[in-house]
């Protein structure tokens, strides 16, 4: 019987690129958002014909957080691993991660991924540790494995105002993790590599337009409330040299600090 679901969000014809290797302990939940006029009339259900280990759900609207929440809702296994449609997953590593979660009664586990170039997206710790509000800010969505029932018990889900496909196209994973911490769930990091991602990721660019910058400001406000200005200022101070180098210092400052273009 499956005990882990890999929760994959995909859009339009990207679904044709999915590779879902079989494993007796792994189920796949594929949430497929179809909103491109060139794809609306196409039928995709037969892509998984005969695959009893795949649950397919089609949606007719965009929004990555909405997709993630549908996957969480229809997931029938104890654990759900958040995944994108362009990652080569290591199912054995995911099983190992869940084994640690079971042994240590962890509600949310985070881990590592690599680029196809064999580089890491950032320096990772070689040691296991419990997350806090600072460390969880660096986590990407494809590094997260969840005890589904633990989240449902606390009514925790992705904030659908944030994420790709919205006017605030980032920050949803940090909000989710901090909501878990606020609700006293056990959130822990393990030095396990669970997938390989193409070298370019959306999170690297947080400054090139108004919605991307505003998302960071609103994310801090959502998480920290009246104390958010301290964190907004600290983020501005830390990122300003890199943004200055790219020529976006003025719009970055205006939007992040004051919420205006």
Tell me the per-residue pLDDT of 211-226, one tens digit each, with 9 for 90 and over: 999 999 999 999 999 9
* pLDDT given at position 200: 74
Q: Do 162 and 211 belong to one domain?
A: no
CA–CA distance, 106 with 61 (Å, rounded to integer): 33
- In degrees, rounded to 5, the angle at the alpha carbon of residue 47 between the alpha carbons of residues 43 and 52 is 125
Cβ neighbours of residue 12 closer than 8 Å, sequence gap 6 or more: 33, 34, 35, 36, 38, 39
Q: pLDDT tens digits, residue range 87-109?
A: 999 999 999 999 999 999 999 99
Domain that holds residue 209: 205-258
187 in Cβ contact with 180 (< 8 Å) = yes
Q: Do 195 and 214 belong to one domain?
A: no
Q: Do 210 and 161 belong to one domain?
A: no
Q: Do 150 and 249 belong to one domain?
A: no
Q: Do 161 and 241 belong to one domain?
A: no
Give the total number of structural domains in the chain: 2
133 in Cβ contact with 220 (< 8 Å) = no
Q: Do 245 and 189 belong to one domain?
A: no
Q: SS3 for 104-157, per residue?
A: HCCCEEEEEEEECCCCCCCCCCCCCEECCCCHHHHCCHHHEEEEHHHHHHCCCC
Query: Which of 181, 203, 225 corresponds to the end of one domain?
Result: 203
Residue 153: pLDDT above 70?
Answer: yes
Across 3-89, the runs of DSSP E, i.e. the strands, are 4-11, 26-33, 54-59, 79-84, 88-89
Q: Do 44 and 141 belong to one domain?
A: yes
- In degrees, rounded to 5, the angle at the alpha carbon of residue 240 between the alpha carbons of residues 202 and 134 is 65
Q: Do 233 and 184 belong to one domain?
A: no
Query: Taking the CB of residue 51, how many other CB atoms lie within 10 A of it?
Result: 14
**CB-side neighbour CA atoms (13 Å) of 176:** 33
163 — pLDDT class (breaks 50, 70, 90): very high
* pLDDT given at position 202: 60
CA 192 to chain CA centroid, nearest Å: 17
Residue 1: pLDDT above 60?
Answer: no
pLDDT average, residue stretch 2-6: 90
* pLDDT given at position 201: 64
Cβ neighbours of residue 71 closer than 8 Å, sequence gap 6 or more: 5, 7, 8, 9, 29, 31, 57, 80
* pLDDT given at position 43: 83
Q: Do 23 and 147 belong to one domain?
A: yes
What CATH number is given to the structural domain containing 97? Answer: 3.90.550.10
* pLDDT given at position 21: 96
* pLDDT given at position 203: 63
pLDDT average, residue stretch 30-43: 92
Q: Do 138 and 211 belong to one domain?
A: no
Q: Do 235 and 119 belong to one domain?
A: no
> What does DSSP say about strands 187-197 and 88-89: parallel, antiparallel, or unpaired?
antiparallel
Query: Which of 163, 186, 203 corresponds to the end of one domain?
Result: 203
pLDDT average, residue stretch 190-208: 87
Q: Per DSSP, what are the bridge partners of residue 55? A: 29
pLDDT average, residue stretch 173-188: 98
Q: Do 94 and 28 belong to one domain?
A: yes
* pLDDT given at position 215: 98
192 — pLDDT class (breaks 50, 70, 90): very high
**Alpha helices (H) along the chain:** 64-74, 91-104, 148-153, 172-182, 210-224, 228-246, 249-258
Cβ neighbours of residue 235 closer than 8 Å, sequence gap 6 or more: 216, 220, 256
Query: Which of 203, 219, 242 corresponds to the end of one domain?
Result: 203
Share of the chain above pLDDT 70, in %: 98
* pLDDT given at position 204: 77
């Amino acid at each position: 019987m499956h005990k882990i679901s890999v929760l994959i969000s995909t859009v339009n014809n990207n679904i044709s690129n999915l590779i879902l290797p079989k494993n007796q302990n792994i189920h796949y939940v594929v949430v497929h958002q179809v909103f491109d006029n060139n794809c609306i009339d196409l039928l995709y259900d037969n892509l998984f014909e005969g695959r009893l280990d795949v649950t397919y759900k089609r949606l007719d609207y965009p929004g990555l957080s909405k997709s993630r929440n549908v996957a969480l809702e229809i997931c029938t296994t104890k654990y759900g691993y958040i995944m994108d449609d362009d990652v080569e997953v290591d199912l054995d590593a995911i099983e190992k991660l869940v084994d640690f979660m079971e042994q240590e009664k962890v509600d949310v586990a985070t881990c590592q991924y690599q680029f196809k170039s064999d580089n890491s997206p950032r320096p990772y710790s070689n040691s296991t540790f419990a997350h806090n509000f600072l460390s969880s800010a660096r986590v990407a969505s494809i590094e997260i494995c969840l005890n589904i029932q633990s989240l449902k018990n606390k009514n925790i889900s992705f904030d659908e105002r944030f994420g790709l496909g919205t006017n605030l196209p980032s920050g949803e994973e940090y909000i989710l993790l901090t909501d878990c911490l606020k609700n006293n769930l056990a959130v822990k990091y393990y030095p396990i590599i669970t997938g390989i991602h193409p070298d370019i990721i959306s999170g690297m660019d947080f400054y090139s337009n108004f919605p991307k910058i505003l998302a960071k400001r609103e994310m801090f406000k959502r998480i920290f409330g009246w104390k958010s200005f301290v964190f907004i200022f600290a983020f501005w101070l830390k990122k300003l040299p890199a943004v200055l180098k790219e020529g976006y210092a003025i719009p970055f400052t205006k939007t992040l600090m004051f919420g205006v273009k």
